[in-house]
Structure 1
Amino acid sequence: MDSNSGQGFAVLELFTSEGCSSCPPADELLERIQKDAGNKPVYVLAYHVDYWNRLGWKDVFSNPDFSKRQYWYNSKFTSQVYTPQLILNGKTEFVGSDEEQIRNTLTAALNGKPITTLSLQGHQVGKNLNITYLSEGQPVQGKLIVAMVQKHAVSIIKAGENKGRTLTHAQIVKQFSTFSLSPERKGSETVVLPAGFDTQKWELIGFIQNPDTGEILAAAKTSVPSPSASL
């Protein structure tokens, strides 16, 4: 892939569910976008919501916190809550399978000029993860959000709208944490690792988000090195 001509970035947040028959095409599209992005600053996050669970199939990746996040966006600018819904950079929403609109807006975002940047590092210490961050450029008002992401999974669906299907998932958010940025715009935070964490199969995606508007101002990702034998 050629490098993008601008210095912009794109955070794509998909709200999805294994219980929704309209969601697999959106999941597949996000996986293609992830692969097509190469080394471009494209950050894909799939949040599995829990409000489909009462309709015949419990999504093992679902979390009520992810549903709350979708409703939070609804309170900011979205007209409704549904799946599959995609939010790009915290300010534009799409049907998650609308490939043409998503790719066009993604290209425009990559050609943008962000006013600040973010870098992340993660280090495993026992059952915890130490996260260090640095934001440079113009000072901004925002919160630091860090998501722990499982890169790939496969599920066999035995009930509900997708009964009998084998679904592949990419960039599954397993947990996310919100922190206040330090006045120096750099610092460190510690989170407890989720069950099943694997340094080879997971990554960290972080972004700075304006809590009043929802707009995402900077983003970064990093892998987590394997802990040393002494830990």
Structure 2
Amino acid sequence: MFARSLAVICACAAALPASQAFAAAPRPVVVELFTSQGCSSCPPADRFLSELSDTRADVLPLAFHVTYWNQLGWKDPFSFDAADALQAQYVQRFRDFAYTPEMVIDGKAEVVGSNRIAASSAIDQARSTGVTAATVSAARGNGSVSVSIGPGSGRARVLLVGYDARHVTAIGRGENAGNTLTESNIVRGFAPIGQWSGTALTLRANAVAGEHLAVLLEAPDGAIVGAARVVDAREAPAR
């Protein structure tokens, strides 16, 4: 459902047609939280991610619910294998083991997700030193997404992420049994849709699952070097 069934049409272009034009917003810092409803240490990190979502337009928070807690009494309904696979890539870079709650900032630094001081410091550091390889803008309409990436230097994989704004879940079993969890920016779909190699590029892809969408540029070393929230085509301003 997530990555391999997309119909993708790629074409190199300096800009979208005028009827589909939309402006690029400043790049947000991408904050990925690896979490699980079965983990008793995760709710404080989930609350912090919700606060980032509510108060920081310059941050794109994304909650990836992993599957490896599911066998311990509660199956997280938002967990999926692609979350495990993404975290495994970060394990190779940062640590020798996977854990929750782990927070990765712009693909370049990781902290314990409930450590607000460390996470806030890493976010501020990313804001001041983060690389933007190219501008990214995207709009959704009629079940598809149009993505425009400007010229720049380097290479990157283009990722489409779908996420739900908020869910409230009553937990029946496991370490959080009896609690009701409110969680934000829960990733529901995650798919590569193309490759950018420094020249201006336009992509069109089927939308993945999720109320909202975002586009990420992931460099070969895993760093996030571009990002944009996808706007509804009806909201996109004409140039």
Q: Look up the equivalent residue of 1:187 and give its one-letter code.
A: T
CA distance in 1, matches of 2:184, 2:109: 21
CA contact (8 A) 1:8 1:114 kept: no
TM-score (norm 2): 0.80
Q: 1:83 aligns with which of 93, 100, 103?
A: 100
CA contact (8 A) 1:135 1:185 kept: yes
CA contact (8 A) 1:204 1:224 kept: no
Q: Look up the equivalent residue of 2:184 and give its one-letter code.
A: A
Partner of 2:183: 169
CA distance in 2, matches of 1:154, 1:223: 25
CA distance in 2, matches of 1:88, 1:204: 19
Partner of 1:190: 205
Aligned residues: 208
| 1:19 partnered with 2:38 | yes
Structure 1 residue 17, shift from structure 2 partner: 0.3
Q: Look up the equivalent residue of 1:188 and give its one-letter code.
A: L
TM-score (norm 1): 0.83
CA distance in 2, matches of 1:47, 1:220: 18
Alignment deviations for residues 6-28 of structure 1 (CA, whole Å, 9 cap, x no partner): x7641100000000000000000
Identity fraction in percent? 30
Consecutive unaligned residues in structure 1, runs of 5 or more: 1-6, 227-231
Consecutive unaligned residues in structure 2, runs of 5 or more: 1-25, 235-239
Structure 1 residue 132, shift from structure 2 partner: 1.9
CA distance in 2, matches of 1:56, 1:69: 24
- Counterpart secondary structure, 2:79: coil
Structure 1 residue 109, shift from structure 2 partner: 1.4
CA distance in 2, matches of 1:207, 1:118: 11
| 1:139 partnered with 2:139 | no
Distance 1:110 1:20, change over 3 A: same
Partner of 2:47: 28
Distance 1:137 1:170, change over 3 A: same
CA contact (8 A) 2:33 2:62 kept: yes
CA contact (8 A) 1:8 1:111 kept: no
Structure 1 residue 192, shift from structure 2 partner: 5.1
